[in-house]
């Protein structure tokens, strides 16, 4: 005799059948789905609220938390933020210099290495002025962006018969592929190429974020902002005089 079973019924028999995989698990109730959605929204809102806070501000919020659950949430977020910052600092100190490579090392030090990070390659020519310029920029950029690997190899050694007129050539590797290629500096500043031009390439390929504080343009913008909002002592004296009057007024 065949017995019909309603899989949605909450019975002990159905629990046994579900445990043996005979009937499917009950779908979550609408109220459970709504509660989970509300909880995810709350967590997202909290994360968004905390994401722009400095470490000192997070510490202050942790001290001011009204209940244990809020205090625990802020503390956990702060620990996660510190771990991320520590990891980022380690990554930024990973390389820090330009690595000369030979052709036998190219596969390992460039192609394979690009699975883990961005690799910029300078196919150089020793007596070429533009190559000397790019080499100098590579040295500065390598110190500033330690998470990016900068590599130098003479063009004729990297590629047999590579024309001198194509040097310097700049290659950007990521995930074993060439993402960008510049033959000479004609399209990236020529003889007047600057650090900002190289940094723009790093931003365009995704090696460095647009808002990275290490970028030269961002540093200049911050300096201009600080100068615009920083009064020197003479300015402060003038403001004080305008507010309270000249010192002579107090003698009357």
Mean pLDDT on 53-74: 62
Q: With beta carbons less than 8 A apart as the criterion, state whether 112 and 164 touch.
A: no
**Residues in contact with 35: Cβ distance below 8 Å, sequence separation at least 6, in sequence order:** none
Question: Distance from CA of residue 10 to its chain's centroid?
Answer: 50
Give me the percent of the chain exceeding a pLDDT of 70. 55
Q: CATH assignment of 98-217, given 3.10.180.10, 3.90.1150.10, 3.40.1390.10, 3.40.30.10?
A: 3.40.30.10
**Residues in contact with 181: Cβ distance below 8 Å, sequence separation at least 6, in sequence order:** 169, 170, 171, 172
Q: With beta carbons less than 8 A apart as the criterion, state whether 184 and 168 touch.
A: yes
| Half-sphere exposure (Cβ direction) of 116: Cα atoms closer than 13 Å | 10
Q: Which two tokens stand for residue 142?
A: 């390598």
Please tell me whether the overall predicted TM-score, pTM, comes out greater than 0.75 for this model: no
Domain ranges of the chain: 55-92, 98-217
Mean pLDDT on 40-53: 61
**Residues in contact with 58: Cβ distance below 8 Å, sequence separation at least 6, in sequence order:** 50, 74, 77, 78, 81
Measured CA to CA in angstroms, residue 213 lies from 68, 140, 202, 223 at distances of: 35, 16, 14, 11
Residue 225: what pLDDT?
58
Residue 207: what pLDDT?
96
Does residue 42 have a pLDDT over 90? no
């Amino acid at each position: 005799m065949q017995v019909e079973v309603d899989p949605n019924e909450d019975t002990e028999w159905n629990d046994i059948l579900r445990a043996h995989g005979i009937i499917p698990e009950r779908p979550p109730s609408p109220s459970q789905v709504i509660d989970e959605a509300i909880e995810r929204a709350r967590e997202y809102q909290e994360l968004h609220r905390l994401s722009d806070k400095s470490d000192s501000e997070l510490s202050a919020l942790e001290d001011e938390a009204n209940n244990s659950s809020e205090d625990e949430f802020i503390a956990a977020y702060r620990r996660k933020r510190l771990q991320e910052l520590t990891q980022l600092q380690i990554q930024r100190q990973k390389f820090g210099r330009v690595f000369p490579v030979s052709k036998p090392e190219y596969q390992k030090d460039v192609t394979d290495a690009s699975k883990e990070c961005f690799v910029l390659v300078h196919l150089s020519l020793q007596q070429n002025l533009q190559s000397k310029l790019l080499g100098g920029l590579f040295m500065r950029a390598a110190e500033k962006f330690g998470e990016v690997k900068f590599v130098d190899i003479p063009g004729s050694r990297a590629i047999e018969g590579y024309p001198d007129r194509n040097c310097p050539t700049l290659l950007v590797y990521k995930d074993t592929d060439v993402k960008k290629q510049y033959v000479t500096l004609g399209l990236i500043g020529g003889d007047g190429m600057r650090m900002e031009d190289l940094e723009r390439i790093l931003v365009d390929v995704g090696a460095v974020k647009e808002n990275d504080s290490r970028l030269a343009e961002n540093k200049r913008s911050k300096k201009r902002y600080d100068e615009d909002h920083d009064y020197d002592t003479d300015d402060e004296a003038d403001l004080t005089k305008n507010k309270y009057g000249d010192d002579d007024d107090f003698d009357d």
